[in-house]
Each structure stands twice: as C-alpha cells, then as structure tokens.
Chain A
Amino acid sequence: MSSSLPLLSLIVFVPWVGALVLLFAPKLGAWSVRVLALAFSLSTLALAGIALCRFDPSAAGYQFAEGHDWITSLNVHFRLGLDGLSLVLLLLTGILGPLSMLASWRQENNPRLLNLLFLLLQGAALGVFLALDFVPWFLFWELSLVPAYFLIRLWGGPGATRAAYQFVIYTIGGSAFMLLGFAALFLATGTLDFTVLSGLASSGALATKLAALGGIWPNAVFFGILLGLAVKVPLFPFHTWLPSAYAEAPTGASMFLTGVMSKMGVYGFLRILWPLFPAALHRFAPGLLWLAVGGVVFGAFAAMKQTDLKRMVAYSSVNHVSYCLLGLFAVCSLSRPSPDAATAALTGTILQMFNHGISAGALFFCVGVLEARAGGRRGIGDFGGVRTWAPLFAGLCGISMFSSIGLPGLNGFVGEFLIFRGVWGLVPWAAAVSCLGLFATAYFLLTFWQRVFHGPKAGASESRFADLTGIETATLAPLVGLMFVFGILPQLLTVLINPLVTSWVAHLALP
C-alpha cells in the first residue's frame, strides 16, 4: 500500500504550515485569520477522507507507512503509519479540530494567536496518533502541551494561571519518567521503534533484555511509562489536574482537550504500553483494574457533587475515559480471556474513545454557550427554564446529554455497551461496581437538564436567553448529527477496526 504521496506527513504538517502562515501574516484581519485557520484545520478531515478511501479495511497492519532516517546516533527514524485505531482518532481530530475553532469564533482577543495555537495543537495530536518511533512520538506528545498551556493561560478563566501550570507540570512529571523508561529500553535493545520493540516483546525477548538491568529496574521501567500515560488519560488517582484545567480552559480548548488530548493517553496504552509490556501489564492489571473502576465510580460521584456545570462535565470525562481503560485492563488481567468477551471489550474501548470525544465535546460547548450568555456564570443554580427561551439549544444539548448517558440509538451507547458486555464476561465484579457510575451519570446529567432547561425561569435566564446563533448551530449540529450516525450505524467505525482487534485477540496468549 505504498503511495508516492506522503499522505501521513501531509496530515501532520499541514496544520503546522497553517500555523506558520498565521505567524508570518500579522496584518491579516480577524475574519481572514479565522477563515484561513479553519481551512487549514479542515485539511485534516479532507486528507483523512482520502486515507479512508484508500484504506484497506481487511488488513491489520500499518498502511501508508513512511520512514526517513533521522538521528543515526540514537537509531531514530521518522516513521509514520496508520492502522484502524489511528484512523478512527484521525477522524475524531479532524472533526473536533475545526469545531473547536468554530466554538472560539467570537473570541476577539488576539484571534491570530488563538487560531495559531489551535493549529499547532491539532498537528501535534495528529503526530501522536501516527508516529511509530518513540522520539517523533514524544516530540508531538510534549509539544502538544505548549499550545494547550497558552490556550488555557491566555484565554482561560480567573483560575487559569494555576490550572495551566498544574496541567503542564503533572503531564511533564509523568513524561519525565516515561522518557527515563524509554532510555532504559534503548539501552536494552538499541532501538526506539514501536514496531520493532513490540516484535521483541511478543517473542519475550524484550523482557529478557530488560531483566539484565537487574533488581527492581525492569518494573521501574514499566511503571515509568505507565505513569506518563496514566497522568495524561487520566487514570484515577492521577486525575487531579483535570477538573481545573478543563474548567478554566476556554470552551474551544476544553472541547479539544477532552475530545482529543485525553485520547492521546488511551492511545498510548493501546499502542505502547500493552504491546511492549504484555506480561507486566498482565501482572499488574488486577490492581490497575481497581483504579479504572475507581475512576468510573469516583468520577461520576464527584460530578454529581459539582455545582459548577463545567466542572461537572469535566468530572464526567474522568468517568467516561476510565471506561476505556476498564475494557483494556479487564482483558489484560486474565491469562486466557474468552475471545468473544475480549473482542467486545477492545472494540468498545476504541469506540468509546471516539464517541466520548463527540459527546464530551458537545457538552463542553453547551456549557460554553450557557456561560457566554450568563456573563461567565455557570453554576447549576444560575439558570432555569432555558428551554422556553432557546428550544433549539435545549434540544441539541439534551441529545448530547443522552448520548453521554448512553441512550441506545445514540453513539455513547455503543462503546459503553460493548465494554460492559466484554467486562461482564471477563471480570464480573468490575462490571457490577462500574454500574454505579452509570447510575450516577444518569442522575447528574438529568439533574443538569432539569434545573437548567426546565423549571421556573431564574438567574441568568430569567428575563431573556438568546437561542443559538448561526455559528453556534454550525458547531453543535454536526456533533449531534454524528451522535445519531454512529449510534445507529456503529459498523461504520467497527469495520475499520475489526481486523486490528481480531489480530490483538489472536495474540492475547502470553509467550
């Protein structure tokens, strides 16, 4: 499937070219900046469309692979490749990137820098989903923090300084130990290529080579890499940076952070930690499973306790992303998982990554709409009876909530259902406890719905509340549309990942 066009490099670098164009065009007016940035951002979706057309859905391996020598002294190659998992996330990024820009359309404070940062962030996220060698992967992984930091810091709420600082320091803290882990892997194997390393791991050679470090060090390597990924997802209890970062970020950035950046962590689990350390992950999965269940339950109950709507949605993200890890850890915790259940859980995990991106992005946008109309207030008690003022907004927001709750027919249902279906067959207690999270999610989202959209008109929506503007509708409606599309036709996505999941399940048995 080699093609003369370096499609993947284009996907990654076109947004960065766009950022450069904005950098060197200081005289552009606000509208031209926005349109130009949006065009560059949409390139991802267009190019992902090309990739989708040429993608061979029956193959499990990497397609459109590209490789260039980069740093010979460290045996580093600039390698990109695309499989079903990357493609799904590519589409997610292609959808959420432009929409987060649209969500910030009305931002009058330095729109050039704002859009430039969005483009940088989008390019970095795409690089993470496509890189096949640690050094380029880590480059994109770390560089994504920079635009995210400035988006939160410069356009965020009153607590943004502290939130942005905490966000970056937590993530870099994790990354430092991940870097350390990869330094040890390089020492043991002389390569940092994910495909080579996972080949070594599946034959058991990697574990043998690492064991040469002696003592506690092989496990330290595993936990170093685990920590870097766990902070990013975040896995309970490394989530403490998340609520303030998401809540203080401007709406568009919150959408991208929760929709795409949290997936970078889950992606790392699937692409790096699991293939490289199947035995270690198996050994520690029972403990990690507790943490994932903790995230599901605690995230939902913490959301229930919030009065700030944005923090509520932020905590609900902790809950939703934990489902992904729940699925993965349940599969890893057994030495001979049933193939059916494992397939369901892993398919569910990937679908949940996509679907949570859509629903959480929409919910953050809805909270952003409320906040914009109420002059920055977003307490649950600051609103009431919004539905009568703004029926369109109420309708779209309601659908997003039900998608998040997991109503059948909407996209959120599919992933969660498959994860529960799989986990029931693998580790029943974990599924049972996690149900608490489902109930709590339904409770707090319905409370949100009732208090804000129904009831007597109150607070910021007492005298008037404008319905969605054209731009706002253009932001929210596509997301809601996708909720229906992927709720009714989940096979549109599963067809892309089926061969991949099948090959994962076929190689589940440990060496």
Chain B
Amino acid sequence: MNALPCTIYISFTGALLSLAVGRRSPGLARAVALASALTAWGIALFAAFKFVPDAAGPVSLVDYPWIPQMGIRYHLAADGISLTLVVLTGLAATAGVLFSWNVEQRTGEFFAFFLALIGGVYGVFLSADAFLFFVFYEIAIVPKYFLIAIWGSTNREYGAMKLVLYSFAGSALVLAGILWAYAAGGAHSFAVADMAQAAVGFSHGQQVWMFALVFLGFAVLAGMFPFHTWAPTGHVAAPTAASMLLAGVVMKLGAYGCLRVAMPLFPVGFLFWQPMIFWLAVIGIIYAGLIALVQEDFKFVIGYSSVSHMGFVLLGLAAANVRAVSGAVLQMFSHGVIAGLLFAVVGRMVYDRTHTRKLADLRAMSLYKRLPFAATVFVLAGLASMGMPGFSGFPAELTILIGTWQTAPWAAVLAAVGVLVAAAFTLRVIQVSFFGHADTAKAAVDVAPLPPITLAEKCGALLLLGATILIGLKPDLLLELIRPALQTPYFQAVLKGGAL
C-alpha cells in the first residue's frame, strides 16, 4: 500500500531512462519501458489485494507541505476508486508497451513520452490535494501532444492540436472553478476534503456556477456530448499505444475529476445541473452510437464508440446513488480495457499490416481468414463492448441501469436504446472489417500475405481479454473495492441510497 506513490516515480524514472538509452539501443528502451510499466502495475495490483477499506475515507500515503503559504500540500491518498483506476492504468500501460513493440522511429523518446503520460495519470488518481491533482492533470496533457504530433497518422497535426486545445480549455475551466472555491472558502487549504467542508457555506448561486465550471472542465475530457469532438479525431490520429491510453485511461481522468472533485465539493450545484447532465449523457450514448454506425473509417468507429461508452459513465454519475456510481466506476475500468483492446486490434494488428483503415477496403480482404487471431480478439472485444454477459461491460451496465431506474427511469429506457445502438454499430463493424466477402466487394488491395501476429501482440491482447473476462465473471473483485469508498462521509452529501 505504502509503495503506491512509487508507481508515479517509477514511471517518471522509466521515462528519463528510456530517453537516455533510446539513442543507443531501441531494444533497451523497450525493455526499460516494459519493466517500469510492469513494476508499477505489480505494485498497484499488490496494493489492491492488500487494501483494507477505511470507513473514514481515503488512506493517506504521503503528506508533506509543498507551498505552505497557499496551503498546498504534496498529499497522496488512495481509496477503492483510485485503486481501481490505478490498476487499470498499470494494465493499460503494460499492454500499451507491448503493442508499441514495433515503434522504430525515435523509440527512446516515444517511450519517454508514453511513460511520462502514465506517471501523470497515476499522479492524478492518487492526489488528495486539488492543486496537486491539477498539476498532474496538466503534466499528462503535454506528452499527449507529442505522441500524436510525432508518431500519429491521419491528420495528426490537426488531431493533436484539437485534442490539446480542448484539454487546456477544460483544465482552464477547472482551475478557475477551483481557485474561486479556494478564495471564497477561505479555508486556506487545497485538500479536497477541506474544500468540501468550506463549500457547505457557499450560496446557492456560487455552488451552481462553481460546479458548472469544474464539472464542465472535467466533462470535456470525459468526452461529454457536445464537447466530445476532440476525442474521435485525436484518438484516430494517435499512434496505437497512445489511442489505447487516451481512450482507455485519460478519458477516465475527466470522469474521475467529476466524481472526486466536482460532485462532492458542490452537491447543491450538482442538484441544479443534474437533469441537464442526464440529458447530455443519454444524448451522448445514442448520438455517438449512431455516428459510429455510419463511419467509413475503422478507427473512427472505435473512437465514437468510446464517446458512447463514456456516456454510460456520465449517466451513472448523474444518477448519483451508490449503486449507479459504483457501476460508473466499474464501467470506467471496463471501458478502459475494452477500448484498449479495440484500438490495439484496429491500429496495431490491422492497420500496421494492411495500411488501410477504410472499411470498404477491409471488406474486400476477408481478414478473418488471413488474421484469425486478430479476428477472434476483435470479436471477443466487440462482444464485451456490446455489453454481452460474461464480459466486464455487462455488470457495469447492469449496475448503472439499476441505479438509474432509482433516480430517472426515463433515462434508463433511453440508455437501453443506447445498448441496442451499440450492438448495431459493433456488429456492423465486425461484419464489415473482418468478415467481408472477398468476391462481393471490389478487390482494392492485393492479397500478399500479411505479417503474422507477433508474440508481444498476443501477450498484450490476452492480458486485456483476460481482464475483461475476469471482471465479467467476478465483478465483485472491483465492486467490493469501489462500494465502501462511496459510502464514506466524503461522498455522503452528494450520493443518495447508501445501502444495497
């Protein structure tokens, strides 16, 4: 447990090391990256196994004064929610390294940026101080830009710029909201628990607008409709490992911020905006799903599917009861794994071999015969993404649906429509991408044999598949971590319905 902060330090050290050795030997840089990702993940898993929930709140890990004049502390803490997401980060990082084994261009720098991003993400999930949270959040933005702009594909300059501008705009809103709350509260502390205490005294108007600023800022990063457009563009432009991490983990930073900072700090403000968030969540689920249904680029389908799935997370948050929110956190984990898997198949297994992502071209290739492993993985990942029972998406969506019934039955009905849309676009893309008929479509691409799937790819795919099936069959492993965290006093003001 006390080793958890090391996940951050290991990642940053790994980044520096891989930068240092990268020029001399790309192979060494890969090894360094894999070693640091694995170690950090191991620490996270170990901490999650050993974790004993504390009814009072997050367990403090490190707490030093940093800028005492402003009451800013270097304070790291963990509870079941952060642990869940830290484990997800470790998993996604490890799989991401495995799926970038073939990066030959400036290998050392690639892994340096990749690990720096991971370090920032770990930092966000472990911060208990709002200012520190924000610092790590900003640290994570910079490597995103370089990863996309240097190693990206289609339209990478545009994608990188759009993604980073949206991120910065979002964080500016967050910063404004937090500073306002800090100034108005007068508690002279950035600790989220203290800030929540101080916010109780705010007027209704203050709560409403502070919440709006902070929530919107985070929700942009979570891909909330209508501020989601950066996500598909950015994720499509990114190199495979970055897409996996951006969709899989970085989008969760936004949702995590909504849950950890925006909602408990301003419960009154949340109540005011709750109906609006419901609407935006269900519109996001259905709209992004319909857009995914008509995409002609394989990777864009996955990009939009991420927005649709993040809508479920927002829906769970909007329902604001323990059950729905525990479902939302489970969905964050689940989507992190599944999105990673989908992007890995599209970007690494298919695009790196066929050099096309146009569904019309892929349709002519009958890829299931030529890449049976990739086809199997994609079918399984697609089923998980559809919310099939037996995969992690199912318990998450079921828990969210149950919780949503409690607060807003009509939103649950619309979400069920969303489940149908998700099935429709997933099945369509499975059908067209891998199971097209070579004879019916125009044979646009020659049938030279494709390079076989490498060992690194197989390991990465099995890792992620194993995770989604394990959690699909044993969701208790995570739900029992998440639920106690939501029943602590910190979340009591905003979450209703503590019991079953």
Kindly list chain A residues whose C-beta atoms are within 8 Å of the C-beta of B483.
Answer: 73
Q: Is B399 an interface residue (CB 8 A)?
A: yes
Q: Is the CB of A183 within 8 A of B405?
A: yes
Cα-based distance from A190 to B500 in the complex (angstroms): 8
Contact with A along B155-189 (1 / 0, CB 8 A): 00000000000000000000000000000000000
In the assembled complex, how far is the CB of residue B417 from the closest CB belonging to chain A, in whole angstroms?
7
- Once A172-B423, A187-B406 are accepted as A-B contacts, the answer to whether A73 and B428 lie under 8 Å apart by CB is no
Interface SS of chain A: helix
Contact with B along A134-160 (1 / 0, CB 8 A): 010011001100100100011000000
B71-79, B96-104, B208-216, B381-389 - interface stretch: B381-389
- Once A172-B420, A179-B416 are accepted as A-B contacts, the answer to whether A73 and B480 lie under 8 Å apart by CB is yes
Other-chain residue from B404, B409, B423, B479 in contact with A169 (beta carbon distance below 8 A): B423
Q: Is the CB of A180 within 8 A of B412?
A: yes
Cα-based distance from A164 to B437 in the complex (angstroms): 14
Cα-based distance from A142 to B383 in the complex (angstroms): 10
| Beta-carbon nearest neighbor of A184 in chain B | B405
Kindly list chain B residues whose C-beta atoms are within 8 Å of the C-beta of A183.
Answer: 398, 401-402, 404-405, 412
Cα-based distance from A74 to B403 in the complex (angstroms): 12
Q: Is the CB of B389 within 8 A of A143?
A: yes
Kindly list chain B residues whose C-beta atoms are within 8 Å of the C-beta of A143.
Answer: 388-390
Q: Is the CB of A176 within 8 A of B416?
A: yes
Contact with B along A495-507 (1 / 0, CB 8 A): 0000000000000
- Once A73-B476, A180-B412, A187-B405 are accepted as A-B contacts, the answer to whether A154 and B435 lie under 8 Å apart by CB is yes
Kindly list chain A residues whose C-beta atoms are within 8 Å of the C-beta of B479.
Answer: 71, 73
- Once A74-B395, A142-B388, A187-B406 are accepted as A-B contacts, the answer to whether A179 and B480 lie under 8 Å apart by CB is no
Q: Is the CB of A172 within 8 A of B386?
A: yes
Kindly list chain B residues whose C-beta atoms are within 8 Å of the C-beta of A72.
Answer: 476, 480
Cα-based distance from A183 to B404 in the complex (angstroms): 9
Kindly list chain B residues whose C-beta atoms are within 8 Å of the C-beta of A139.
Answer: 389-390
Cα-based distance from A369 to B63 in the complex (angstroms): 77
Cα-based distance from A173 to B388 in the complex (angstroms): 13
Q: Is the CB of A180 within 8 A of B416?
A: yes
Kindly list chain A residues whose C-beta atoms are within 8 Å of the C-beta of B476.
Answer: 71-73
Q: Is A402 an interface residue (CB 8 A)?
A: no
Q: Report which residue of A139, A190, A220 has the largest number of chain B beta carbons within 10 angstroms of its beta carbon.
A: A139
Q: Is B148 an interface residue (CB 8 A)?
A: no
Q: Is B475 an interface residue (CB 8 A)?
A: yes
Q: How many residues of B contact A (CB 8 A)?
A: 37
Q: Is the CB of B412 within 8 A of A71?
A: no
In the assembled complex, how far is the CB of residue A415 from the closest CB belonging to chain B, in whole angstroms?
32
Kindly list chain A residues whose C-beta atoms are within 8 Å of the C-beta of B405.
Answer: 180, 183-184, 187, 213
Q: Is B431 an interface residue (CB 8 A)?
A: yes
Q: Is B413 an interface residue (CB 8 A)?
A: yes
Cα-based distance from A168 to B435 in the complex (angstroms): 16
Contact with B along A153-195 (1 / 0, CB 8 A): 1100000010011001100110011011001101100100000
Q: Is B371 an interface residue (CB 8 A)?
A: no
In the assembled complex, how far is the CB of residue B497 from the closest CB belonging to chain A, in whole angstroms?
10
| Beta-carbon nearest neighbor of A162 in chain B | B431
Q: Is B424 an interface residue (CB 8 A)?
A: yes
| Beta-carbon nearest neighbor of A158 in chain B | B440
In the assembled complex, how far is the CB of residue B124 from the closest CB belonging to chain A, in whole angstroms?
26
Q: Is B419 an interface residue (CB 8 A)?
A: yes
Kindly list chain A residues whose C-beta atoms are within 8 Å of the C-beta of B326.
Answer: 73
In the assembled complex, how far is the CB of residue B5 from the closest CB belonging to chain A, in whole angstroms?
29
Other-chain residue from A71, A177, A213 in contact with B416 (beta carbon distance below 8 A): A177
Cα-based distance from A362 to B57 in the complex (angstroms): 65
Cα-based distance from A475 to B389 in the complex (angstroms): 34
Q: Is the CB of A73 within 8 A of B475?
A: yes
Cα-based distance from A365 to B471 in the complex (angstroms): 41
Q: Is the CB of B412 within 8 A of A176?
A: no
Kindly list chain B residues whose C-beta atoms are within 8 Å of the C-beta of A154.
Answer: 435
- Once A73-B479, A146-B383 are accepted as A-B contacts, the answer to whether A176 and B420 lie under 8 Å apart by CB is yes
Cα-based distance from A183 to B417 in the complex (angstroms): 14
In the assembled complex, how far is the CB of residue A389 from the closest CB belonging to chain B, in whole angstroms?
33
- Once A165-B431, A172-B420 are accepted as A-B contacts, the answer to whether A71 and B401 lie under 8 Å apart by CB is no
Kindly list chain A residues whose C-beta atoms are within 8 Å of the C-beta of B412.
Answer: 180, 183-184
* Residues 245 to 304 of chain B near chain A (Cβ within 8 Å): none
Kindly list chain B residues whose C-beta atoms are within 8 Å of the C-beta of A74.
Answer: 395, 398-399, 402, 475
Q: Is B427 an interface residue (CB 8 A)?
A: yes
In the assembled complex, how far is the CB of residue B301 from the closest CB belonging to chain A, in whole angstroms?
15
In the assembled complex, how far is the CB of residue A189 from the closest CB belonging to chain B, in whole angstroms?
11
Kindly list chain A residues whose C-beta atoms are within 8 Å of the C-beta of B409.
Answer: 184, 213, 217, 220
Kindly list chain A residues whose C-beta atoms are within 8 Å of the C-beta of B402.
Answer: 74, 183-184, 186-187
Kindly list chain B residues whose C-beta atoms are within 8 Å of the C-beta of A146.
Answer: 379, 383, 388
In the assembled complex, how far is the CB of residue A244 from the closest CB belonging to chain B, in whole angstroms?
15
Cα-based distance from A220 to B483 in the complex (angstroms): 29
Kindly list chain A residues whose C-beta atoms are within 8 Å of the C-beta of B401.
Answer: 179-180, 183
In the assembled complex, how far is the CB of residue B39 from the closest CB belonging to chain A, in whole angstroms?
31
Cα-based distance from A177 to B474 in the complex (angstroms): 24
In the assembled complex, how far is the CB of residue A365 from the closest CB belonging to chain B, in whole angstroms?
26
Cα-based distance from A138 to B391 in the complex (angstroms): 13
4 smallest beta-carbon distances between A and B, as pairs: A139-B389, A183-B401, A73-B479, A176-B419
- Chain A interfacial positions (CB closer than 8 Å to B): 71-75, 135, 138-139, 142-143, 146, 149, 153-154, 161, 164-165, 168-169, 172-173, 176-177, 179-180, 183-184, 186-187, 190, 213, 217, 220, 224
In the complex, given contacts A75-B500, A165-B427, A172-B423, what are 9 additional A-B residue pairs having Cβ atoms less than 8 angstroms apart?
A: A74-B398, A142-B388, A149-B427, A161-B437, A176-B417, A179-B401, A180-B416, A183-B404, A183-B405
**17 A-B pairs in the complex with CB atoms less than 8 angstroms apart:** A72-B480, A73-B326, A73-B399, A74-B398, A74-B399, A146-B383, A146-B388, A169-B423, A176-B423, A177-B416, A179-B398, A180-B405, A180-B412, A180-B416, A184-B409, A184-B412, A217-B409
